[in-house]
Chain A
Amino acid sequence: MNTGEPLFDSNPDTESREAASPAFRALIQSLVNEQAYAVLCVQGGGQPYGALVAFAFSEDLRHAVFATPVTTRKYRLLCECDHVALVIDNRPDRANELMDVEAVTATGRSQLIARGREFDELADLLISRHPYLRSFLRAETCALFRVDIVRFLHVARFQEVHQWIPAARS
C-alpha cells in the first residue's frame, strides 16, 4: 500500500544531536565526494520537477554548485522559485543491497551567479570535480547556480535518518 511516505525518509523529523559531529559530517562529506551527480529538485506553479546535474560542494558543505543551459526547464523554474533540493545517493543496481544504500537530501535556496569573481571561483570548484565541463561553463548561455544549504537529511540502513542544519552550527 502506498502510504504517501517517501521510502527512505520515513521519519524526517528525527533529529540527532550527533548529526553535527565530525563523524557525521565526514559521512556526508564522503558521500558527496564519492558521487558526481545529484538529482536536482525544483518546482513551479505547484508542479515538482527533477533533473540530473553534475555538482560540487564547498569544503565546509555550506554551498553546492551546479550549471545548466539557460534554455532548459530547470533554469526557468529556478528563476521562478529558489527553493530546491539535491538528492545524492550511492544506490547499487541490485535490489538486495538496500541496507547498504546511503542517501543525502540537501535542501536550500538557489542563487543565479552573475559572471565575475564569484562565478569564476564557483566554476573552478565545479571544474575541479568535473574537468570536462570547462568549455560548457565558458559558454555565455551556461548559467551557474549556488545552493546555500539549509538542511542535510542523511538516510542509511533503509530508514535511519539524521538531520543536520549547517547554518545552525555554532
Chain B
Amino acid sequence: MDPGRPLLIPLDAPGVPDDRIVGGKAAKLAQLMRAGFAVPRGFCLTTWAYEAFVIDAEITAAISMELGRKSMDGMRWEEIWDAALRIRSMFLAQPLSRQLRETVRESLQLFNSSVPLAIRSSAIGEDSAGHSFAGLHESIIGVRGERAVEDAVRLVWASLWSDAALLYRQELGLDPARSRMAVVVQEMVNSDRSGVAFARDPRDMRKDHAIIESVPGPCSLLVDGLVDPDRWEMNRATRGVVAWLPGQREDSDNKPLLEPQDLQTILQTLLSVEQLFRWSPDMEWTGRSDSLTVLQARPIATAVPDEDEKRSWYLTLRPNDARLKELRQRITGQLIPELAAAGETFAAEQLELLDNHQLADAIEKRSQTLARWKKIYWDEFIPFAHGVRRLATYYNDAVQPDDPYEFVGLLRDQALLAAQRNNVISELARQLGSNHALRTAVEELLAKHVSSIQWPTFRDELLKGGIAADEFVQGFDDLHERFLDVTFDDERLRDRPGRLLSNLVELSQPSSASESHRVSPSNCSLELEEKLLAAVGLERRAEAMDVIETGRVSWRLRDDDNLLVARLESQCLRALDVAAKRLRKLGRLTGNGHLNDSYLVLLVRALRESSTDLITIADSIKSEKPQLSLTSPGQTPRQLIGQPASPGLATGKVRRVSGRDDLGMFRRGEILVCDAIQPTMTHLVPLSGGIVERRGGMLIHGAIIARELGIPCVNGVRDAAAILQNGDLVTVDGHLGIVTIGAADFDLEF
C-alpha cells in the first residue's frame, strides 16, 4: 500500500482529514470526534480504495461504455435505471483486492464482533452547503461479518452510479465520471430514542428557532419515514420549548418521547456543532441526556429550494419496502376491485333506455370517474410499479447472477389480463389455421366489409355460410365480451373487430422457419424462487417472499391497471356514442369524424338543452406529423442504437403502428415499429418478426413480452418512428441493441 495514498483511515486518526479523500461525511465525523463529541467509532475506506477497486476490477471503461452508448439527455429514467442496475451488477461481480480485504479485516478486528455495523456513503461533495445528496447514495445498517461488510461496501460504491444519483448529478451539471466515493464503516449505536435536530427551522430558516424530532428506536425509522416523530420547536436564545407536536403513532401514549433534560442536551450539542463548523447543521443523534451520540452532521439542505424539490423526486425512485407493502395492500385489496367494479357497472348500464338528462348525467359521471382513476393511476399505481425494481435489486444483491435480468423469470406465469386475452387469441388463430374453410370464409367476409363491420353481423354471416364455425364464434364472443371493451387510440376495440380478425388470419398462417427457432427463456419461476430463498437463508425467508410477492403483484397490476382504466375510457366513449347517435337522429349532430372526449361538453349541453347549435363531428383526417429532418440530402442513417431488450436477430420490413388504422394492417413477420407497446396491442407481438420501440427499458411491456416469446427487440431507439418508414428493410439485432437499415449487402462504389 502506498503510504501517501492510504486505503483506510480510522476516524480517530491524527491530523485534519481531507474531505477529497474521505468524503464529506467522514471528514465531519472525524472533526466531531476530535472536538470531543461522542461519535460511534469506525474507519473510512478512502476514495483511493474506491479508485483502486474500479481500476483493478476494470469497471471504469465498462461504466463509460454503459453511459456513453447514448446521450444521457436522450435516455428516459427507465433506461438510466437499467444502466444503473448493470453497473451495480459489475460492482457486485468483482471481489475486493486481497490487499483491501486484508486491510478491512484488520480494522474489523478492533471492533466488538457482536455489534452490528453501519456502512455509509461518503461521496466527494456530498452534503456540502450547495447541494445535498442525502438519501441518494446507499447506507446499509445492521451489517455483521467480513463477507457482509465487503458486499455492503461494494453496494455503497455502486450507489454512486444509482439512477437517482445519476439523474441528480445530471440536473446539477456535475460530471459523474469525476465522482468518487469514500465509505464510512462504524459501529452501530442504538438507543431507545433517536432523531434528527435542525439548528434552524428548515422550512423558513428562522434564526431564532431550532427543531428537534424524535422517534422511539433507531434513527433509521425516522430517516426512512417509517415512524412519525414527535417534534419540538425550541427557542435558541431562551432554550425554551416553543411548541410540541406529538407524532401520530399507533402505540403512542401521548406523552412526549423526550424529557426536558434530553431536549436541553440535544439543543446544546446542536449549537456546539454549529459553533464548530460555522454553519447550521442538520444532526442525526441517538441516546438521552446522559449518553447522547452524534451519528451525523451536515448543512441543512434548504439553500436552493428548487434543487431540494428535485432531490425529493429522485428519492422516490428508490422504493421503500414499507410504502410498497402499504400500496400493495391498498391496491389489491381495495383499488383494483373498485376499478374493476366501476368498469362492470358502467358496462351493465343500459344507456339506450335513459332519457336525455339521465344520459347527460351518465356521461359526466363516467368522465369524472375516469379522471379520478387516472389520478389514482399516477399517484398510486405508477409508484407501485417500483415493486418490480425492488425485486430486481433484492434478487441481484442476494444471488449475484451473471445476467442482471435473471429475476424477470420470477414474474413468469402471472395471470395477467393481457396474457389471458392473448391465450384466447392464440386458440382462435389455431382454429382458423386448422380449418381451411373457416379461414377462407373469414377472409372473404373481411374483404367484403373492410373494417366497418360489427361483430354480431359478422357472426351471423359466418354462421349462415354452412361451415363449422360454432366453436370459433363462441370463442370470439368470449373475447369480445371479456377483453375488447378497451380503447386504443380513442377507439373501442369492440367497435372494429375486423382489425383483430385480420390479425387472427395472419396468426393462423404456418410459422416461418425463423419463428420456429425462437428460444424462450429456460428458467422457471419456481427454480428462481428457490435460488433466491437459498441465497438469503432461513432468517430472511419471510422478507424475501414478501419482496417476491410485491414484485409479482406490481408486475401483474402494471398491466392489468392499464387495461382496467382503458375499459373505463371505453365506457366513456360508449356513452358519448349513444348520445351522438341520438342527437344525429334528431338532426342536431352531423359529420362523420371520429368521436372522442373533446366533444363531451357539447354533447352534454345538447342533451340537457332542447335548442343548441348543430354539432359537427369534424372529419378525423389524421394530420401526419411533420417528418423530422434528421438527415440532410445524401446522408442516411445506417445503424440506430438502442437497448438490447430481447435477444435474437431478425430481418424484415417495417410496419409502424401509431394509431388505430395500423392495427389491422399488420402482417406476419413484419418488424413492429412503435412508440411503445401498449397493453391493448400486445396481441401484435407474436405476429412480429422483431420489435423496435422508441421508449426504452428492459422492464417495459414490449421488452418483457418479446423476451417471453423469444422475439428480437431493440428499444430506446430515439428517432425510430421518424426515421423508419413502412416497408423499409431493417435488421434488428436484439443481442447488441442495433437496428441496421437497408440490405446488408455491400454497395459497390462506382
Contacts and interface: CB of A to CB of B under 8 A. Distances in A.
Interface in B609-651: 639, 644, 647, 649
Nearest to B58: A131
Given A131-B62, A132-B64, A140-B647, A76 B736 contact: no
Interface of A: 44-47, 49, 69-73, 76-77, 130-132, 134, 136, 139-142
B746 A76 contact: yes
A69 B736 CA distance: 8
- Greatest chain B CB density within 10 A among A44, A134, A139, A142 is at A139
Contact of B746 (A49, A130, A140): A49
Given A70-B649, A132-B64, A142-B736, A47 B746 contact: yes
A101 B738 CA distance: 36
Interface in B586-628: none
A47 B748 CA distance: 6
Nearest to B647: A140
B62 A134 contact: yes
B148 interface: no
Contacts of B647: 139-140
A142 B735 CA distance: 8
Nearest to A46: B748
A142 B746 CA distance: 19
Interface in B695-750: 731, 733, 735-736, 738, 740, 744-746, 748-749
* Interface SS, A side: mixed
A139 B735 contact: yes
Contacts of B746: 44-45, 47, 49, 73, 76-77
B737 to A, nearest CB: 9
Given A131-B58, A132-B64, A134-B62, A71 B744 contact: yes
Contacts of A130: 61
Contacts of A70: 649, 733
B746 to A, nearest CB: 5
Interface in B501-527: none
B65 interface: yes
Contacts of B65: 132
B691 to A, nearest CB: 16
Contacts of B58: 131-132
Interface of B: 58, 61-62, 64-65, 639, 644, 647, 649, 731, 733, 735-736, 738, 740, 744-746, 748-749
A130 B64 CA distance: 12
A45 B736 contact: no
A73 B742 CA distance: 11
Given A71-B731, A131-B62, A141 B736 contact: yes
Nearest to A133: B65
Q: Is the interface of B mostly helix, strand, loop or mixed?
A: mixed
B749 A47 contact: yes
Contacts of B731: 71
Contacts of B64: 132
B738 A69 contact: yes
24 contacts: A44-B746, A44-B748, A45-B746, A47-B748, A47-B749, A69-B733, A69-B736, A70-B649, A71-B639, A71-B649, A71-B733, A71-B744, A73-B744, A76-B745, A76-B746, A77-B746, A131-B58, A132-B58, A132-B64, A139-B647, A139-B736, A140-B647, A141-B649, A141-B736
Closest 3 CB pairs of A and B: A131-B58, A139-B735, A132-B61
A29 B172 CA distance: 45
A73 B740 CA distance: 10
Contacts of A139: 644, 647, 735-736
A134 B402 CA distance: 12
Contacts of A136: 736
Contacts of B735: 139-142
A76 B746 CA distance: 7
A158 B58 CA distance: 37
A84 to B, nearest CB: 15
Contact of A76 (B61, B639, B744, B748): B744
B627 to A, nearest CB: 25
Contacts of A47: 746, 748-749
Nearest to B65: A132
B749 A131 contact: no
A139 B644 CA distance: 10
Of the listed residues B61, B733, B745, the one surrounded by the most CB atoms of chain A closer than 10 A to its CB is B733
A161 B369 CA distance: 82
Contacts of B61: 130-132
Nearest to A71: B740
Contacts of B744: 71, 73, 76
B717 to A, nearest CB: 15
Nearest to A131: B58
Given A49-B746, A76-B744, A132-B64, 12 more contacts: A44-B746, A69-B738, A73-B744, A130-B61, A131-B61, A131-B62, A132-B61, A134-B62, A139-B644, A140-B735, A141-B649, A141-B733
A166 to B, nearest CB: 30
B93 to A, nearest CB: 10
A35 to B, nearest CB: 16
A128 to B, nearest CB: 10
Contacts of B639: 71
Nearest to A42: B746
Nearest to B737: A139
A141 B734 CA distance: 9
Nearest to B739: A71
A38 to B, nearest CB: 18
A136 B737 CA distance: 10
Contacts of B62: 131-132, 134
Nearest to A141: B735
A67 B493 CA distance: 47
Nearest to B64: A132
B707 to A, nearest CB: 14
Contacts of A142: 735-736
A131 to B, nearest CB: 4
A71 B62 CA distance: 23
A32 to B, nearest CB: 19
Contacts of A44: 746, 748
Nearest to A136: B736
A51 to B, nearest CB: 12
Contacts of A131: 58, 61-62
A151 to B, nearest CB: 26
A47 B746 CA distance: 9
A142 B733 CA distance: 10
A137 B735 CA distance: 10
A1 to B, nearest CB: 24
Nearest to B740: A71
A44 B740 CA distance: 20
B221 to A, nearest CB: 40
